[in-house]
């Protein structure tokens, strides 16, 4: 039989939709497309008139499948029978027609594929990030096992191999319990055909596209079943591809600021911000239709009369567009007011964005708190500004950004730029990230997002960013892809999409505000440090803490390799028994402060570690001693070790730090910070940070 037998001829009547139409294509039509793309599929024939004569040319055993409108999950509907001979086909077809509730348009008869490892390969169009490739263990157990990996398209061959290697069942591909290994190169080629440059993801109208199962054997792969459900009609056009970011410096370091909306009689948010800005000393003007001053700040009647390059607007939503239209000559206008798209008023938001374009100003927000930048005397939090530093933050939530600023500064973070974006009607997280990645004052960026707005642009910006980026995403447990007509549609969620974004871009994905602060602290301390090793060593006092430390690092995805074979000899002279990693070393008020640095130095000579985590039980210093000096001496010794070993990154964990008197924790952090060492209160927080540092280095 020639290959044309398996496809529908040009003059054959078609009652099914083609892959480009709104309805789903039939399996044999999808397989014809696969064959053209070079994907192996079983030989088969299409039968519409119950004449199974052509099937005699196929090699037995045979598979009989019905197709027709509404027959999506054929196995569940009883529309698939395996292991048939050609003579058994008519009776099997009659029995199938009697039990299948949906209309049957015809039958597909195929040669049954040899047994092998069953995989699933699928494509979906995520609403925010566009085409996504899924691969994993498949067959009827696909959703039960949920052993899959995701990547945004286009993927690279490295991505394809990483996807397969990340599966819990990866050992099945390499040969398991006597079974031969499958042709992994053929599986990789299939993934590239689906999701690589020029792949099917670029040619198909997605919805959903699924090959399940794909049978992988030592001799190659065969797509046994195929399904394509075109997507809904295209929505509004996406934003045009972003070019290089404009000059955002006036956003962060304005020469002067205007506040619109402060009252002379009833103090409101506008008055509060006047107070914040007066405290920073930035040149300031209020905008008020009649008053010559507001809260002691000179006033002008409109933004048209304000010689500023940043304006904060805090008036009711319905008045904001009118105010912004007067901002001709003001580079940036921040609209603090809510009541736009987030409140079910998208038309009001569009009017605001149009007003900004008409005035030639850039719009931050609406529904956002604004900007915090100690260098530029910009703030949206009270209490003045902290020290200028190298950590930036982009946040969709103003409240959370304020918490990260205050808690982060308390823990030693120093910020270069913080910006809240709210609804991102104009200035987007992607544009801000591109600019911050080129900002000489910024060495690491954190992002808190709930809706990426333009996911593809954000993903591109993450790929381009040549600095550490930390992602905290709200609402990740929601279902990003609502269609469930295929296993792929049911397996792709917001959480998994963000994991793919982080995995491909090298960004660190964290799950809490504390971890966002903790990982940024790690990059603030170690971001520019060049390391030569690829392993992690944990050193600290004995007891259950070491066992729990191993658990914490394992949970964070950090492997603690055994000590080198020659470690016992190297440590014997220091009086330390090389029992394992974590390594137990006596640390306490009666111990020698320099012992841990000596142990670190001895082991680093044997193996070039990437990270060393030194932990200490602060409680012991104040239960078995009565002074903080031994703890300070230990911290100074660890700091000296970091100065002497610039090729590794040392992290300090002060467990049970709340047992120390007031001020002790601050002094420990000050000593450590001077040497570029981040400090954590728990092993779990340190493990997350060290894991993020390792992934960034690998990327």
Mean pLDDT of all residues in 5-27: 46
Share of the chain above pLDDT 70, in %: 91
Closest CA to 361 of 396, 337, 334, 336: 334
What was the pLDDT predicted at 20?
38
- pLDDT, residue 127, reads 86
Segment 636-649 shows an average pLDDT of 95
Section 260-284 average pLDDT? 94
Neighbouring CB atoms inside 10 A of 191's CB total 27
**CA pair distance 508, 501, nearest whole angstrom:** 10
Look at the alpha carbons of 137, 143, 149, 150 in this order and tell me if their dihedral is positive or negative: positive
pLDDT at residue number 14? 40
Residue 1: the pLDDT is 34
Whether 484 shows a pLDDT value over 90: the answer reads no
Q: What is the distance between the alpha carbons of residues 434 and 124, in angstroms, rounded to a whole number?
A: 27
SS3 track for 670-683: HHHHHCCCCEECCH
pLDDT score for 188: 98
What's the average model confidence in pLDDT over 63-67?
96
pLDDT tens profile 128-157: 899 999 999 998 777 778 899 999 999 999
Looking at residue 590, what is its pLDDT? 85
Q: How would you classify the pairing of strands 649-655 and 611-617?
A: parallel
* Mean pLDDT (the chain, rounded): 89
Residue 565 Ramachandran class (φ > 0 left, ψ -120 to 50 alpha, else beta):
alpha
CA dist., res. 264 & res. 293, Å (int): 8
Residues 239 and 128 sit within 8 Å (Cβ to Cβ): no
pLDDT at 532 over 80: no
Closest CA to 607 of 591, 585, 583: 583
Determine the average pLDDT of the residues in 195-209. 92
**Nearest CA-CA partner of 446 in 456, 436, 460, 459:** 436
Contact 472, 495 (CB under 8 A): no
Backbone angles phi, psi at 580, to 5 degrees: 155, -170
Length of the chain: 699
- Write down the H helix ranges in 438-529: 455-464, 487-491, 494-505, 513-526
Residues 554-562 have a mean pLDDT of 94
Question: What are the structural domains, with CATH classification, of the chain?
Answer: 3-28+40-111 (3.30.1490.20), 117-229 (3.30.470.20), 251-523 (3.40.50.261), 530-698 (3.40.50.261)
Residue 385: pLDDT over 90:
yes
Give the C-alpha separation, 675 to 479, whole Å: 44
In this structure, of 10-24, 184-198, 207-221, 254-268, the range with the lowest mean pLDDT score is 10-24
Which candidate, 240, 266, 247, 262, places its Cα nearest to that of 311?
A: 262
**Higher confidence at residue 75 or residue 637?**
637
Report which of residues 286 and 206 the model is more confident about. Answer: 286
- Closest Cα to residue 282, out of 379, 383, 354? 379
Tell me the C-alpha to C-alpha distance, in Å, between residue 574 and each of 23, 580, 592, 643.
74, 16, 11, 21
**Tens-digit pLDDT profile for residues 485-515:** 344 555 566 788 999 999 999 999 999 999 9
For residue 297, the surrounding DSSP H or E stretch is strand 297-300
Task: Note the helical H segments in 204-311.
Answer: 249-252, 269-280
What percent of the chain is predicted at pLDDT more than 90?
Answer: 78
What is the structure's pLDDT at 499? 92
Sign of CA dihedral 427, 430, 432, 438: negative
Q: Which ranges of 335-452 does DSSP label H, i.e. alpha helix?
A: 346-359, 398-410, 429-437
Residue owning tokens 């009697």: 98
86-95, 234-243, 373-382: range with lowest mean pLDDT: 234-243
Query: 205 pLDDT band (50/70/90 cuts)?
Result: confident
**pLDDT surpasses 60 at 631:** yes
Give the separation between CA 422 and CA 400, rounded to whole angstroms.
Answer: 12
Residue 441 or 16, more confident: 441
C-alpha–C-alpha distance, residues 272 and 314, integer Å: 11
């Amino acid at each position: 039989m020639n290959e044309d037998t398996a496809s529908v001829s040009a003059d054959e009547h078609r009652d099914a939709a083609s892959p480009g139409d709104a309805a789903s294509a039939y399996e044999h039509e999808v397989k014809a497309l696969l064959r053209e793309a070079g994907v192996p599929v079983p030989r088969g024939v299409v039968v519409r008139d119950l004449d199974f004569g052509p099937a005699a040319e196929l090699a037995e055993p045979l598979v009989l499948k019905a197709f027709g409108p509404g027959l999506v999950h054929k196995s569940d509907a009883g529309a698939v029978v395996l292991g048939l001979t050609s003579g058994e086909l008519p009776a099997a077809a009659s029995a199938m027609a009697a039990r299948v509730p949906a209309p049957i348009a015809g039958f597909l008869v195929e040669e049954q594929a040899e047994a092998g490892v069953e995989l699933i390969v699928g494509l979906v169009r995520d609403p925010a990030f566009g085409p996504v490739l899924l691969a994993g263990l498949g067959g009827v157990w696909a959703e039960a096992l949920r052993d899959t990996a995701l990547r945004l398209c286009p993927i690279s061959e490295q991505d394809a191999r990483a996807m397969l290697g990340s599966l819990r069942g990866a050992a099945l591909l390499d040969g398991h319990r006597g079974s031969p290994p499958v042709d992994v190169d053929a599986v990789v080629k299939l993934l590239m055909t689906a999701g690589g440059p020029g792949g099917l993801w670029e040619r198909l109208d997605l919805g959903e596209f699924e090959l399940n199962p794909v049978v992988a054997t030592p001799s190659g792969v065969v797509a046994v079943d195929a399904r394509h459900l075109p997507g809904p009609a295209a929505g509004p056009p996406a934003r045009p591809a972003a070019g290089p970011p404009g000059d955002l410096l006036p956003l962060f370091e304005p020469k002067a600021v205007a506040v619109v909306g402060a009252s002379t009689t009833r103090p409101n948010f506008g008055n509060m911000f006047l107070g914040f800005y007066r405290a920073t000393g930035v040149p300031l003007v209020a905008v008020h239709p009649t008053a010559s001053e507001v809260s002691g700040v000179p006033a002008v009647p409109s933004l048209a009369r304000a010689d500023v390059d940043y304006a904060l607007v805090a008036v009711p939503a319905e008045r904001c567009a009118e105010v912004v239209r007067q901002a001709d000559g003001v580079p940036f206008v921040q609209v603090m007011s809510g009541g736009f798209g987030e409140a079910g008023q998208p038309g009001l938001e569009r009017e605001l964005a149009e007003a900004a374009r008409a005035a030639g100003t850039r719009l931050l927000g609406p529904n956002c708190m604004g900007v915090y930048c100690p260098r530029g005397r910009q703030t949206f939090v009270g209490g003045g500004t902290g020290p200028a530093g190298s950590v930036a933050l982009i946040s969709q939530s103003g409240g959370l950004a304020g918490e990260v600023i205050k808690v982060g500064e308390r823990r030693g973070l120093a910020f270069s730029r913080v910006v809240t974006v709210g609804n991102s009607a104009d200035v987007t997280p992607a544009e801000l990230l591109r600019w911050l990645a080129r900002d000489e004052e910024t060495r690491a960026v954190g992002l808190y997002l709930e809706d990426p707005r333009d996911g593809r642009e954000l993903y591109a910006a993450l790929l381009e960013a040549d600095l550490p980026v930390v992602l905290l995403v709200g609402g990740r447990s929601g279902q990003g892809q609502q269609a469930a007509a295929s296993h792929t549609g049911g397996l792709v969620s917001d959480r998994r999409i963000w994991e793919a974004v982080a995995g491909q871009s090298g960004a660190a994905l964290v799950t809490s505000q504390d971890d966002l602060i903790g990982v940024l602290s790690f990059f603030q301390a170690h971001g520019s440090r060049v390391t030569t090793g690829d392993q992690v060593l944990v050193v600290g006092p004995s007891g259950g803490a070491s066992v729990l430390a191993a658990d914490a690092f394992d949970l964070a995805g950090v492997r603690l390799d055994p000590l080198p074979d020659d470690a016992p000899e190297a440590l014997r002279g220091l009086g330390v028994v090389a029992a394992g990693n974590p390594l137990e070393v006596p640390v306490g008020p009666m111990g020698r402060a320099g012992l841990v640095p000596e142990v670190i130095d001895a082991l680093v000579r044997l193996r070039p570690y990437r990270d060393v985590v030194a932990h200490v039980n602060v409680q012991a210093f104040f239960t078995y001693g009565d002074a903080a000096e031994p703890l300070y001496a230990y911290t100074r010794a660890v700091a000296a070790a970091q100065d002497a070993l610039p090729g590794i990154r040392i992290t300090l964990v002060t467990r049970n730090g709340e047992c120390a008197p007031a001020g002790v924790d601050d002094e420990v952090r000050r000593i450590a910070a001077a040497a570029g060492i981040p400090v954590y209160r728990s092993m779990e927080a340190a493990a997350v940070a060290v894991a993020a540092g390792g992934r960034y280095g690998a990327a």
